[in-house]
Each structure stands twice: as structure tokens, then as C-alpha cells.
Amino acid sequence: MPEIHLLSGGTLLPDWSGAGSVADGAVAWSGETILAVGPREELERRHPDAVRHQARGGWIAPGLINAHHHIYSALATGLDPGLTIDGFGQCLDRLWWRLDRAHDEASIRQSARLTSLRCALAGCTTLVDHHASPACIEGSLDWLAEELETAGLSALLCYEATDRNGHAGALAGLRESRRFRDSVRANGRFRGLLGLHAAFTLGDDTLAAAARLAEDGGIHVHVAEDRLDGEICRGRDGQGPLERLESAGLLGAASWIAHGTHLDEAGLDLLARRGALLVHNPESNANTQVGRLDLRAVRRAGVDVALGTDGMSSCLLSALRCAFLLHRQGEGDSAGGWQDCTGLLEGARQRLARLFGQPAYGQLVAGAPADLIVLDMPAAPPPTAGNLIAQLVFGQVPPRVRHTVARGRWLVDHFEACGLDPHRLAAEIRPVREVLWLRFHKLGAGTSYLGPEPGAAGGRPE
Ligand SMILES: [Zn+2]
């Protein structure tokens, strides 16, 4: 039997609800699985020979789950697109749809390594990624999985199919998602979904092909992130983006819907009835100025909601703070907002539990995967369901991650990355990034998928 590890000396949070914390708690694990959690004295008595680790007064909590990420954006930090960007359409066309086309295997692998390091340092042990690399689709999800596995992380992956590079490219994207999904059904660390970019870049034939492959609506797709999605979809046949997915039979309990910023009451009600998950990406919404997700309306409609970073960073706790502040500002509510943000860190847990066949995924309980972190929370009062959000957004911001342990493996030890070496990684990334940026600048913008540029004859309104 592998040796037993025991982490103690802090406050134990069995999940991210804030309820049920144990003041002087501990967690014991062996191999990739948690053996026991509870009061320190009890676990020390039960496991006297365990290898001991110290939380130094921090919060011992489940590893964070980033419910919507884009690894392919990792090397874009500092990239000057060389063109002005005005609005969401140009942001896609002049930045992200050039970057994804510029990727090759080397740049995808390095993006995954850098994202893994950032995730580990930010306490994230599972990420849900939405990948695009139109010049090299086949096998790209394997490259991501190999790098993430080497780094110690777990993930739910998909390739975002789109017609914007031609229908053959869309079908290749669907094939890649299906291939990967089917290849990891028995894998302990990875699962796959069918990926779709967004309804406005998907033709009816592609949606029909996706519907033949999806299982229980098992898609990961951007919906109504900006008004553009609705305008372009309705301009074609009168149907909005969510209606198009619904008409194609693509909405179900396994659907993973990113953004939803411009969904109306009927759209939110449909998501609730289908049991789909909505992923809130507040930092990204603010950055692209697409609008604000009305979290209160989402809650009122009974939609399950989780939190993602949408490639903006890998720090979920920064995204939580942004979600809270934007929510308060938007509601004009200077005292409330806690309830609407409570549960954002837990929103994806049950879906992943189902997908991985691990009933306690994302929780610190016996039998769950040993994914855990320690947050430094100097002089913090005991966490409760009522004060958890306040402590995470007003206290030590963002809380420093002392330890990250993923499937029993130490990724961050007393604030230092112990898997990937940041200095070696920087040296590896530099030449790959230079080549990626050169390819990026050689690629033109002005994709026909958005229609002619604003102001051109027959073009979109400005
Ligand atoms: Zn996204």
C-alpha cells in the first residue's frame, strides 16, 4: 500500500459551501484517494505513521474547479494584435480567431504547460477547457491531456467546432471531440464533451452532425456572450442561439453553456428545464464589455451556475471577487449579493461527479480524489455558509495558495511550484511564443463569417 499522508494544522472545509468546517482539522490520503477527514487528533490517532504536512493555520479545502477556460490563449499575454479592436466581433476576428489559427503542436503544448503552472499556483486542480487550433485539429486534445497529466491536473476537454474555417473544419472539430471523449471514458483524470464554438458560427448541417454525436446534450458551447450571437442567428432564420441549439436537440442535463450574458427570462427558464449548467465568466465579460450576467435572474430561474475564467487568467478566486463586485454594482445593492454568489465555486462539482463516476468529486470526504489546497487566511474567523464569500473577496485578496495537491501529488508546496519549473518553462516558451506571434501577424483578419465589415455595402450596422 502507498504511504499515507496527513495534512493538518488548519481549518478544514469539506466543500466550498462554507458549512461544516472543522477548526483544527486534517485530511489523510493514500495514493490518489482521500482516506479520511476530520479533527486532527482523531486522524493522528488513526494514522500514527503517516507522512505529516503542515497547513500553518490556513484553510484546507477542495482543489478549485475552473468551469470554462481556454488553454490556447495562454501565450497571448502581451501580444499586440497590430490592429485596433472595437467591439466583440473585432476582438474575435482580430485577436482570438487569428491566434487559434496560428497554433501548432509546440505552441499548444507550451500553452498547456503554462496554464498548468498557473492553475497549480492558483489552487485549481480541475479545469474545463474549450480548445481551438484550426491548423492542427486531429490529436490536439491528446496533446493537451498529455501535458496536463504530466503537470498533475485533471480536465474535461473538448474541441470547439466551427464553420468559420469551412464545413470540413467543423466536421474535423466534431470528430476530434468525439475521438477524445470516447478514448477517455475509463480514464481517471480526463473526460470529454462535444465542443461547439457558438451558434452564430455554426451552420445547420454542423448542428445536425453534432446532435448525432452528442450524448444527453453533452456539449460545451458559448451562448449569447455578446448581442452579436443573437443578432447574427436571428438574422439568418429568426431563431436565437439557444433556440437553435434546442431545435437541433442539443440541450440537456450534460450541456455546458458558457456566458449566457444576453439570455432573457425564457432562455434562462429553458436552461433550467433542460438541467443545463451555465458558466459565469465575469472578468471576461468585463474585459470584452459584452454586458453583465444577471446572477439574480439566473438564481430566480433555478439555473445551475458555475464559475470560469474564459482564458483571462487561471485564478478562480479573482474571478469570484470580480463576480461579486460586478453583481453588487449592477444590482445597486450595497449590503446584499452574498446569496447570489454563494455556490459559484461548487457549481460544476456534481456534473463532474457524474462524468467521472466519482460521487464526491470536488469535496474533501473519504473516497474522493485527493485534490486539495491550503489557502493562507491570516487571522480569519471560522468560515461559515454566511461569511465564506466575504472572507474570500474582502480578506487576503486573492488568498495565497500555500499548497496544491492533485490526485495525491504535490504540485505547490509552501507557495513554490514543485512540478513544473517556472524558470525552465520560461526558457522553453520564449522561442515557441516568438514563432507563434510571427505566424499570428502574418494571418489576416476580416473573416467572412461575421459578414462584411461595419459600414461596407450590405455590412453589419455599426
Ligand atoms: Zn470562452
Ligand 1 centroid, distance to 159 Cα (angstroms):
12
Ligand 1 centroid, distance to 15 Cα (angstroms):
26
Identity (one letter) of the amino acid at 433?
R
Ligand 1 centroid, distance to 336 Cα (angstroms):
28
Ligand 1 centroid, distance to 69 Cα (angstroms):
6
Ligand 1 centroid, distance to 51 Cα (angstroms):
41
Ligand 1 centroid, distance to 457 Cα (angstroms):
31
Residue-wise pLDDT for 413-458, tens only, equals 999 999 889 999 999 999 999 999 999 999 988 876 664 444 444 3
Q: Which domains does the chain have, with CATH numbers?
A: 4-62+372-406 (2.30.40.10), 64-356 (3.20.20.140)
Ligand 1 centroid, distance to 124 Cα (angstroms):
18
User: CA nearest 426: which of 80, 147, 77, 110?
Assistant: 110
Ligand 1 centroid, distance to 221 Cα (angstroms):
8
User: Which neighbouring-strand residues pair with 29?
Assistant: 5, 34
Q: Which three cell numbers stand for residue 379?
A: 487571522
33-39 and 51-54 beta bridge pairing: unpaired
Ligand 1 centroid, distance to 222 Cα (angstroms):
6
User: CA nearest 323: which of 351, 286, 350?
Assistant: 286
Q: What is the pLDDT of residue 85?
A: 92
Residue whose C-alpha cell reads 483578419 in the numeric block: 445
Ligand 1 centroid, distance to 310 Cα (angstroms):
5
Ligand 1 centroid, distance to 265 Cα (angstroms):
22
Ligand 1 centroid, distance to 228 Cα (angstroms):
15
| pTM summary value | 0.96
Ligand 1 centroid, distance to 194 Cα (angstroms):
14
Ligand 1 centroid, distance to 127 Cα (angstroms):
13
Ligand 1 centroid, distance to 315 Cα (angstroms):
15
The rounded distance, in Å, linking the Cα atoms of 299 and 283 is 19
The rounded distance, in Å, linking the Cα atoms of 150 and 339 is 38
Q: Which three cell numbers stand for residue 150?
A: 504530466
Spell out the SS3 assignment of the chain.
Answer: CCCEEEEEEEEECCCCCCCCCEEEEEEEEECCEEEEEEEHHHHHHHCCCCEEEECCCCEEEECEEEEEECHHHHHHCCCCCCCCCCCHHHHHHHHHHHHHHHCCHHHHHHHHHHHHHHHHHCCEEEEEECECCCCCCCCHHHHHHHHHHHHCCEEEECEEECCCCCHHHHHHHHHHHHHHHHHCCCCCCEEECEEEEEHHHCCHHHHHHHHHHCCCCCEEEEECCCHHHHHHHHHHHCCCHHHHHHHCCCCCCCCEEEECCCCCHHHHHHHHHHCCEEEECHHHHHHHCCCCCCHHHHHHHCCEEEECCCCCCCCHHHHHHHHHHHHHHHHCCCCCCHHHHCCHHHCCHHHHHHHHCCCCCCCCCCCCECCEEEEECCCCCCCCCCCHHHHHHHCCCCCEEEEEEECCEEEEECCEECCCCHHHHHHHHHHHHHHHHHHHHHCCCCCHHHCCCCCCCCCCCC
Ligand 1 centroid, distance to 6 Cα (angstroms):
38
Ligand 1 centroid, distance to 259 Cα (angstroms):
8
Distances (CA, A) of 459 to 202, 232, 410, 453, 455: 20, 12, 54, 6, 6
Ligand 1 centroid, distance to 92 Cα (angstroms):
11
The rounded distance, in Å, linking the Cα atoms of 300 and 391 is 25
Ligand 1 centroid, distance to 130 Cα (angstroms):
7
Ligand 1 centroid, distance to 287 Cα (angstroms):
12
Which residues of the chain fall below pLDDT 70? 448-462
Q: What is the pLDDT of residue 454?
A: 44
Ligand 1 centroid, distance to 284 Cα (angstroms):
8
Ligand 1 centroid, distance to 179 Cα (angstroms):
22
Ligand 1 centroid, distance to 439 Cα (angstroms):
22
The upper half-sphere exposure of residue 423, i.e. CA atoms within 13 Å in the direction of its Cβ, equals 1
User: CA nearest 58: which of 406, 400, 407?
Assistant: 400
Ligand 1 centroid, distance to 190 Cα (angstroms):
19
